[in-house]
A = this chain, B = another copy of it.
């Protein structure tokens, strides 16, 4: 891996001298579009390769996407004429961001990793592997070293599921100080989490769907992996039980989660709020997509709200509110995060930035 890092480093040397070529695997879906939007204007990256399903190979991105483009700020000029490549094409970009559908992400990501690419994946396929880091840069950047166990010429790193990221960021500052033992989380998840056509209007207008297949398992498994300690012998999982119940609600963007926690140590309300407010481990990293600070706590009980607060920190800030003592577990509170930005596209981009910084620092 060192060579790959060096290869990125060669272009950077302290500050970005030359932009790093990057590509997107799965460039036409909801998360793919957000990746296009974030990477097209990125100061470190030059969006070069767009990979999508075979039926669109060879076409210009603008022709493929024009009726499907969902972001209100318009298709960036820089990608309009890029021609779509297939998942078997050779790519010039060393660094790839993957928002492939899980039905093909497993194989395609391995294929490119074997060819030497570094992959920041939003797909679920490799997240729980022992040799694949599941990264939230504010929480566990040291997990990156897991890629040494990978046998690829390149490497795969992943970010958690959209509903896990907000939760994990709310739990981490408390857990690191007071040790969380039990977590109950009920989610109210936005429709964009299911993709562009994932939820039909007849299913969700004036309605809630009280189940999202596979989601509860993802939250329960991924959160403890994110919070695990990196040791010489691998990840050491926390002594923490998590139970989730997931709902789909008629909100366009922004997952809201109601959380109950039980702690080993017993802080008071102010100590917990202080944990959140002072949490800013990336302060000195200068990652471009990292909000500063990453968490905002609202003292007004009516906040955070998806429509008002999901875009805080360009969609990367996690908002928390209504912390209160509970007579069942110790505390309850509310967490909001933008599911497509902080929870998917922005998460992958932030992981890419972390890779670049680590390469700089370590070489």
Residues of A within 8 A of B (CB): 30, 66-67, 70, 72-73, 182-184, 186, 188, 191-192, 196-211, 213, 220, 241-243, 245, 247, 249-252, 256, 258, 260, 300-311, 321-322, 326-329, 332, 334
> Could you tell me the distance in whole angstroms from the C-beta of A197 to the nearest C-beta in chain B?
4
Cβ-defined contact, A251 with B206, below 8 A: yes
> Could you tell me the distance in whole angstroms from the C-beta of A361 to the nearest C-beta in chain B?
34
Give the CA-CA distance A201 to B332 in the complex, in Å: 28
> Could you tell me the distance in whole angstroms from the C-beta of A207 to the nearest C-beta in chain B?
4
The number of times this chain is found in the oligomer is 4
Give the CA-CA distance A236 to B249 in the complex, in Å: 39
Give the CA-CA distance A67 to B300 in the complex, in Å: 8
Cβ-defined contact, A247 with B256, below 8 A: yes
Cβ-defined contact, B182 with A328, below 8 A: yes
Instruction: Give the residue of B66, B188, B322 whose beta carbon is less than 8 angstroms from that of A300.
Output: B66
B-chain residues with CB within 8 Å of residue A241 when the two chains form the complex: 327-328
Cβ-defined contact, A200 with B196, below 8 A: yes
What are 28 A-B contacts defined by CB distance under 8 Å? A30-B202, A67-B300, A72-B310, A72-B311, A182-B328, A183-B328, A184-B184, A184-B260, A186-B186, A188-B188, A188-B249, A199-B202, A201-B201, A201-B250, A204-B205, A206-B206, A208-B305, A208-B306, A209-B305, A210-B302, A210-B303, A210-B321, A210-B322, A211-B321, A211-B334, A245-B332, A250-B250, A328-B329
Residue of B nearest to A328 (CB): B243
Cβ-defined contact, B307 with A207, below 8 A: yes
Residue of A200, A260, A334 with most partner-chain B CB within 10 A: A200
> Could you tell me the distance in whole angstroms from the C-beta of A329 to the nearest C-beta in chain B?
7
The 10 closest A-B CB pairs, nearest first, are: A207-B307, A186-B186, A243-B326, A243-B328, A211-B301, A186-B258, A191-B201, A197-B200, A210-B334, A199-B201
